[in-house]
């Protein structure tokens, strides 16, 4: 259970009579800090994964996100999306010495001109 | 129209090597295949890309002028589409890797002084920098402000990824190559040296042959 160790520390303190302190529980404190770090790293990964998905949206839906997706992303994520969009557009414009190329087009090889009839 | 493809269109100043449009396209195709297979980002080919984009624009202009025969028009249009697809795919693959390995690539680039060894084009460098910066700001505003002191440093190193140079790739030796050193992966010192015959095909780790790839001795397949 999350936060179990931290709860232990609090209970330990609570059990003592007023004014008294239990021994400084280095082991449990260390475990709690480790748990915090793990949770934080997991959180970072999740934030990062969300951004990855939002990024994929740019490539799939274009620079305007469908309403149902917009409903599920927070304001900072929208700002990140806009910035990503701007950065991408800037790069695409620079291609071909300024002529520009839209990399979100031509995602599939051109179809064959002739269809084989048997 | 086929005549113009044999015209010399690309002259690489320093090397004095001029190439026809079809040669440029062939090199670009090879770069595209290599980029798709290689576990890391290969050296940029912006000259080839710029050249072919210019070619496409010229071809498109030419097509507009000749309103003849539907048949010829369709074939040339398909060729244009095909070239544009290759260029787009090539640049997309690069962007994907740039985003994935941004931190690692920028660090490496900072330590590269020779322009001919540059992996990222100047515009790709700008892209990578802004991409990383956007991630940092995002994490800053979303997470780090609300988190206790002990967790506050944004560990860029943790979020960044390095390409796996030990990935296996298929290659073909374009010329006879002797003495390729393969280090013993288990670290027991049983290194091997192999000779590659011209035209032979092999499955190997990327790392030992990357220098051969850059010299043109082998090609990825």
The predicted-structure confidence for B38-80, as pLDDT tens digits, reads as follows: 999 999 999 999 999 999 998 888 888 776 666 778 888 888 9
CA distance B205 to B86: 26
pLDDT over 70, % of chain B: 83
Chain B positions touching A103 (Cβ under 8 A) are 88, 91-92, 95
pLDDT of residue A115: 54
CA atoms lying within 13 Å on the CB side of residue A113:
13
Confidence of residue B144 (pLDDT cuts 50, 70, 90): low
B50 and A CB contact within 8 Å = yes
Mean pLDDT of the B142-168 span: 71
Confidence of residue B13 (pLDDT cuts 50, 70, 90): very low
Left, alpha or beta for B199 (phi > 0: left; psi -120 to 50: alpha)? left
Mean pLDDT of the B80-101 span: 95
B140 and A CB contact within 8 Å = no
Interface test with B, best of A46, A80, A89, A91 (most B CBs within 10 A): A91
* Entry pTM: 0.84
User: Would you call A101 and B91 a contact, using CB atoms and an 8 Å cutoff?
Assistant: yes
pLDDT in tens, B123-143: 999 999 999 999 988 888 876
Chain A positions touching B49 (Cβ under 8 A) are 95-96
Say yes or no to pLDDT of B155 above 70.
Answer: no
Residue B20 or residue B29, greater confidence:
B29
Chain B positions touching A74 (Cβ under 8 A) are 142
Ramachandran angles phi, psi of A102, nearest 5°: -85, 105
Q: Is residue A29 part of a domain?
A: yes
Say yes or no to pLDDT of B11 above 70.
Answer: no
Q: Is residue A85 part of a domain?
A: yes
B53 and A CB contact within 8 Å = yes
Q: Is residue A8 part of a domain?
A: yes
Say yes or no to pLDDT of B19 above 70.
Answer: yes
Chain B positions touching A91 (Cβ under 8 A) are 95, 123-124, 126-127
> Could you give the number of structural domains in chain A?
1
Chain B positions touching A110 (Cβ under 8 A) are 78, 81-82, 85
pLDDT of residue A44: 85
Residue B194 or residue B92, greater confidence:
B92
**Complex-level ipTM:** 0.83
B74 and A CB contact within 8 Å = yes
Under-70 pLDDT residues of chain A: 112-118
Q: Is residue A56 part of a domain?
A: yes
pLDDT of residue B3: 45
Q: Is residue A68 part of a domain?
A: yes
Considering chain B, what is the average pLDDT of its residues?
84
C-alpha separations of A105 from A66, A101, B63, B88, B160 in Å: 18, 9, 21, 8, 29
Which residue segment(s) compose the domain that A20 sits in?
4-94
Confidence of residue B189 (pLDDT cuts 50, 70, 90): confident
Q: Is residue A108 part of a domain?
A: no
Q: Pull the structure tokens for residue A6.
A: 């931290």
pLDDT of residue B48: 94
Interface test with B, best of A3, A30, A32, A40 (most B CBs within 10 A): A40
Residues of A (3-32) whose Cβ lies below 8 Å from B? none
User: Would you call B143 and A99 a contact, using CB atoms and an 8 Å cutoff?
Assistant: no
C-alpha separations of A23 from A14, A28, A29, B42 in Å: 13, 11, 12, 58
Q: Is residue A113 part of a domain?
A: no
Confidence of residue B9 (pLDDT cuts 50, 70, 90): low
pLDDT of residue A118: 60
Say yes or no to pLDDT of B88 above 90.
Answer: yes
Q: Is residue A19 part of a domain?
A: yes
Mean pLDDT of the B90-95 span: 97
């Amino acid at each position: 259970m999350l936060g179990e160790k931290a709860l232990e520390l609090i209970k330990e303190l609570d059990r003592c009579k007023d004014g008294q302190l239990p021994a400084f529980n280095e082991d449990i404190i260390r475990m709690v800090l480790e748990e915090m770090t793990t949770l934080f790293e997991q959180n970072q990964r999740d934030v990062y994964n969300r951004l990855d998905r939002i990024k994929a949206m740019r490539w799939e839906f274009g620079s305007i996100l469908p309403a149902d997706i917009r409903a599920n992303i927070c304001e900072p994520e929208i700002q990140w999306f806009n910035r990503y969009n701007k950065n991408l557009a800037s790069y695409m414009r620079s291609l071909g010495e300024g002529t520009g190329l839209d990399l979100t087009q031509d995602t599939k090889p051109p179809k064959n001109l002739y269809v084989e009839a048997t | 129209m086929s005549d113009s493809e044999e015209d010399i269109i690309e002259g690489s100043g320093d090397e004095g090597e001029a190439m026809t449009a079809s040669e440029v396209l062939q090199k670009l195709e090879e770069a595209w295949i290599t980029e798709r297979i290689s576990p890391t980002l290969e050296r940029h080919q912006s000259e080839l890309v710029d050249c072919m984009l210019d070619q496409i624009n010229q071809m498109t202009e030419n097509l507009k002028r000749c309103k003849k025969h539907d048949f010829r028009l369709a074939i040339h249009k398909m060729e244009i589409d095909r070239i544009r697809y290759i260029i787009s795919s090539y640049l997309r693959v690069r962007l994907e890797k740039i985003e994935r390995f941004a931190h690692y690539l920028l660090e490496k680039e900072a330590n590269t002084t020779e322009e001919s060894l540059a992996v990222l084009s100047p515009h790709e460098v700008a892209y990578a920098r802004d991409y990383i910066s956007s991630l940092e700001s995002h994490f800053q505003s979303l997470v780090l402000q609300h988190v206790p002191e002990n967790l506050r440093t944004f560990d860029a190193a943790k979020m960044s990824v390095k390409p796996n140079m030990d990935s296996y790739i298929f290659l073909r030796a374009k010329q006879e190559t002797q003495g390729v050193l393969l280090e013993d992966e288990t670290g027991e010192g049983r290194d091997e040296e192999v000779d590659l015959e011209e035209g032979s095909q092999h499955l190997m780790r990327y790392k030992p042959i990357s220098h051969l790839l850059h010299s043109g001795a082998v090609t990825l397949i």
